Structure 1
Amino acid sequence: MDNRTNLDDYLAGLGISDADESAPLPHTPEPALAGPALDAAHEDPRAVLERFLRGLIARMDPSLQVSITETGDALEAEITGENAAKLAGRDGRVLGAIEVIAYTVLTKQAGRGDLRVRVDVGGYRKRQSDTLSKLAERLAVQVAKSGEPHELQPMPAAERRIIHITLKEHPDVISESVGEGSARRLVIRPRHG
């Protein structure tokens, strides 16, 4: 494993660099990832994110499409196409990595570290959210019936948040996060008792 410490080096290692600006992508009049050095304070964050994601997916599967929407403090990207779901990777790990790199590019090129970046591919995040909501509802019934708390395995903050939101108004149970760092997990407890 090499000891690269710079995002530019990582991107260059992936074949993504400033040198790519001379080779526009199909259906994209702009450079793939890193266009001419524009004043970062004036570059539109949505355009930066779209350019990055189009460049990335063009190298993986040119038939995929990207759409970006802005929702308050976040940019949400949806990658669609016949093989889009494959980009999620095992347990959403590739999708998570894409989000981290997209956020880093957005921060670097648009100077907008205040915007969150959420990326979904082929509806993966929606399906995951639905699955977690159903799990929360099943566990709520179990905890309400038994009167005993249920502790889940450690999970990322975004997944815990889905369960918290699902159970927020539940009359019989409450949810809380316990632990620190990567060991942080969720506990569902009876509301009264």
Structure 2
Amino acid sequence: MDNRTNLDDYLAGLGISGADESAPLPPAPEVAAPASPALEAAHEDPRAVLERFLKGLTSRIDPGLTVTVREGEDALEAEIAGENAARLAGRDGRTLGAIEVIAYTVLAKQAGRSDLRVRVDVGGFRRRQADTLSRLAERLAVQVAKSGEPHELQPMPAADRRVIHIALKEHPDVMTESVGEGSARRLIIKPRHG
């Protein structure tokens, strides 16, 4: 058996064509490029590309899962639902994060859209996590407002920091700031005045 053929067949089944890793990524949308058959596939509808990839992936994991993709304000948002969908999030959402990274890569390669963000939720995991972070942000805001002392949170992913930034954006007594680099980037909640 030819492993390359099996890999190509598997990737094609996931909605990923052209498994040749040495193929260059298509140019960014702003860059004019001559039309060619190889680039026409790069201009596929991003929503269709993401939906095809996620349906291919989930059908192999659990055929009972469903995928819905919609265009949000600043990202393509996908919801994977089904009886066992929440298990797909993995420990602390790590599997879900990996799915998002792969989905973004597929979108960049197949649709030529590396400018689009991708958010995937499974079984409401992200929604519940955002609610928990928003409640935490409110509790910490009260604490910081009362004490007048800033509170520094542990390093967290950008998506989690964003939830807290948004939750406290209009708070009259506190403001937020991200500090640090890479995986050590963390958020500080500090008094707005003083």
**Structure-2-length-normalised TM-score:** 0.82
RMSD: 2.1
In 2, distance between residues paired with 1:20 and 1:87? 20
- Residue equivalent to 1:18: 8
In 2, distance between residues paired with 1:132 and 1:60? 29
Residue 39 (structure 1) shift: 2.5
- Residue equivalent to 2:35: none
- C-alpha distance 112-191 of structure 1, shift in aligned 2 (>3 A): same
In 2, distance between residues paired with 1:138 and 1:192? 18
After superposition, the C-alpha distances for 1:100-140 in whole angstroms (9 at most, x for unaligned) are: 00111111111111111110000011001000000000001
In 1, distance between residues paired with 2:125 and 2:186? 22
Counterpart contact for 1:18–1:33, Cα < 8 Å: no
> 5+ residue gaps in structure 1?
1-8, 23-30
Residue 21 (structure 1) shift: 7.7
Residue 38 (structure 1) shift: 7.9
- Residue equivalent to 1:33: 15
In 1, distance between residues paired with 2:171 and 2:43? 45
- Residue equivalent to 2:186: 185
> 5+ residue gaps in structure 2?
19-37
Runs of 4+ in structure 1 over 3 Å off: 35-38
In 2, distance between residues paired with 1:124 and 1:142? 27
| 1:15-164 superposed matches below 5 A | 17-20=7-10, 31-35=13-17, 39-164=40-165
Counterpart contact for 1:73–1:114, Cα < 8 Å: no
Q: Percent identity?
A: 76
Counterpart contact for 2:180–2:186, Cα < 8 Å: yes
- Equivalent pairs counted in the alignment come to 172
